[in-house]
Each structure stands twice: as structure tokens, then as C-alpha cells.
Amino acid sequence: MTDLPAGELPLRDEIFQRMGGLTPAERKVARTLLARYPAAGLESTAALAAAAGTSKPTVLRLMTRLGLGSYREFQERLRAEVTRSMSASPLSRARARRAAPSEDNVFLRAVQQRAGLVTRLQDTVPPGEIERAVSLLAGRPKHVVTSGGYFSRLIARMLAMQLDQLIPNVDYAGEPLGADVGKYLRAGRDSVAIVFDLRRHELASEQVVSMAKASGATVVLITDESLSPSAEEADIVLPVAVDGVPFDSFAALLVLTESLVDAVFQHAGEAAIERMADWERSVHIYRA
């Protein structure tokens, strides 16, 4: 009963998986489709295009590329999928109750919740997007800058420190619109700007992204699942789950950046190892 026709994944997964082989504008559509699933796909082409920041034909081209026939066919499949998923919903209600092991230990509950966020990372970040980010960073960019919002800047800083061990010319911009503006103006065609912008999106991040784009840099945006407004301008978007009660958590964010660095290391090989050796030699910390 839960079986689908052979080869027919749920649309969400189909899109998720094939994101790598899309053109940039198509990818923007795919992103908003996943971010607001399935509502975004049940609206009109015009509405979807507007939400994604592109045009109607791009939406239609996405459909043809995914091998779904017309947009109407796509919507029909979506509706069928939704109906199937909702008629099975009494089940999911039971799951939800079981998933909440009502332990009165506040701390452990917080830990488990965050462990869940980390696990979800495999679902929120499209593999294709990661791959692109990794080869971008491992492909000897001339210059890499990171920056973030009020809290997320700390993760940005950590990313910069870790990345700096692997590749040259990595900078952290604490005040991208102030004292550190030069680090962005220096950016050129193969620079990379990594921008963090999480929930309660800050106005400044949009300006930073625009500035980076304007100077020709490739922009990697790391944001929450609701997608920062800057997502429209960014070249690569890595969405991350951060929601928790009462506080949002950076757990998945940190794991994402660490794993990104890890992957870059594996990908860059020789050069990275050499640089790490240099690093170890010149930066000396007094050990116990």
C-alpha cells in the first residue's frame, strides 16, 4: 500500500536528489519548492516563480528537466502524494507521541533534541549543494571571507579558523560593513564569500551578500530552513535546522561547517596536508 510505482520517488526526494544537475535559476526554484513543501508547488507558476525570484518559463523548464510532463501533471502528482500522505496521518500522530520520551530530565531532553537537529542535517542539505561548495573551496580560490550575524558570527569565525588550516587567504570579517569592508572589496571573480544568516534574519546580511556578489565573488549562504531573504542572490544555499524550545540551537550549524571542512580536506589532498604542516610549525601554542 505504501509502495509506489517502481522508480517513482516522492517528488520531494526526487527534486532533492537531482538538484546537482540543475541550472542556477532552476535550482532557485527547487530550493523554494523544498523550503515550502508542498504549498509552493500547489500555487501557480507565476506565484512560484515570484517566490523563487525568477520567471515563469524557468519553472516550466524545471518540470521538463525533471521529466514531469506539464506543470499541471506535476501538480496532479503533488496532490496525489499529499492525499496519500495525509490519509496515513493517524499513524504519524502515534509516532509523534512515541518519539517524545517524556523524561523529566531537562538537560537530557535538550541534548536529544539537538541530536535530532544534527541527524536531520542529512535531509535539509541537498547533496548536490554540498558537493558544489566543497569543490569550490577545494578548487584553490584566490580568497575566502566568512561573516555572520549577531550570534552566528562565532560559527563564521570558527569556520574561518578551521579553513585557514587547510587553504591560504582565509579571512573572518567581524564587521563586514565596517572596519572589515576591505576584505570584501578585495574580492574578485574567484573569491568565495561564506555568509551565515539565521532566523530573525538581519538586514546587514543582505547588504553583505549584495556587496560580495557585486565584486564578483561566489556566495555561499548558510541559513535556516525558512531561507534567508539573501537566498535569492546567493549561488549556493545550505539550509540547516535550528529550531528548538526555548532557544534555537547552533548544533547542526556547527556540524555542517565542521563536516564541510572535513570534506574540503579530503578533497584538497596533498596541498591541504602541506599547509597543515606549515601551520603546525608556525603557530605554536603552549601546551601543558
Partner DNA sequence: CGTCGTCTGTAACGGATGGCACAAAACCCC
Partner DNA sequence: GGGGTTTTGTGCCATCCGTTACAGACGACG
Q: How far is the CB of 45 from a second copy (least distance, A)?
A: 15
Q: How far is the CB of 134 from a second copy (least distance, A)?
A: 7
Radius of gyration of the chain (CA): 21
Q: Does 24 bind DNA (CB under 7 A)?
A: yes
Instruction: Kindly report the number of other CB atoms within 10 A of residue 220's CB atom.
Output: 24
3-class SS string, 124-145: HCCHHHHHHHHHHHHCCCCEEE
Whether the link from the prior residue into 38 is cis, omega within 30° of 0, is yes
Task: Return the residue of 44, 119, 210, 266 that touches DNA, per CB under 7 A.
Answer: 44
Instruction: Yes or no: say if 147 and 177 are a contact pair by the CB < 8 Å rule.
Output: no
Kindly tell me which of 116 and 186 has the beta carbon lying closer to a second copy: 116
| C-alpha cell read off for 24 | 542556477
Q: Which does 56 bind (CB under 5 to 8 A by kind): a second copy, DNA, none?
A: DNA
Kindly tell me which of 118 and 221 has the beta carbon lying closer to DNA: 221
Cβ neighbours for 236, distance < 8 A, ≥ 6 positions apart: 129, 132, 133, 136, 218, 219, 220, 221
3-class SS string, 203-263: HHHHHHHHHHHHCCCEEEEEEECCCCHHHHCCCEEEEECCCCCCCCCCHHHHHHHHHHHHH
Q: How far is the CB of 91 from DNA (least distance, A)?
A: 28
Q: Which does 66 bind (CB under 5 to 8 A by kind): DNA, a second copy, none?
A: none
- How many chain residues are in contact with DNA, going by CB under 7 A? 20
Q: Does 218 bind DNA (CB under 7 A)?
A: no
Q: How many CA atoms lie within 13 A of 231 on its CB side?
A: 26
Q: How far is the CB of 245 from DNA (least distance, A)?
A: 34
Q: Does 232 bind DNA (CB under 7 A)?
A: no
Kindly tell me which of 72 and 84 has the beta carbon lying closer to DNA: 72
| C-alpha cell read off for 202 | 538581519
Q: Which does 63 bind (CB under 5 to 8 A by kind): a second copy, DNA, none?
A: DNA
Beta bridge partners of 194: 146, 220
Kindly tell me which of 43 and 243 has the beta carbon lying closer to DNA: 43
Site for DNA in 122-181 (CB under 7 A): none
Q: How far is the CB of 55 from DNA (least distance, A)?
A: 4
Angle (CA) 282 153 198, round 5°? 145
Kindly tell me which of 31 and 153 has the beta carbon lying closer to DNA: 31
Q: Which does 284 bind (CB under 5 to 8 A by kind): DNA, a second copy, none?
A: none
| C-alpha cell read off for 228 | 534567508
Site for DNA in 50-109 (CB under 7 A): 53-58, 60-61, 63, 70-72
Kindly tell me which of 113 and 215 has the beta carbon lying closer to DNA: 215
Residues that bind DNA (CB under 7 A): 23-26, 44-47, 53-58, 60-61, 63, 70-72
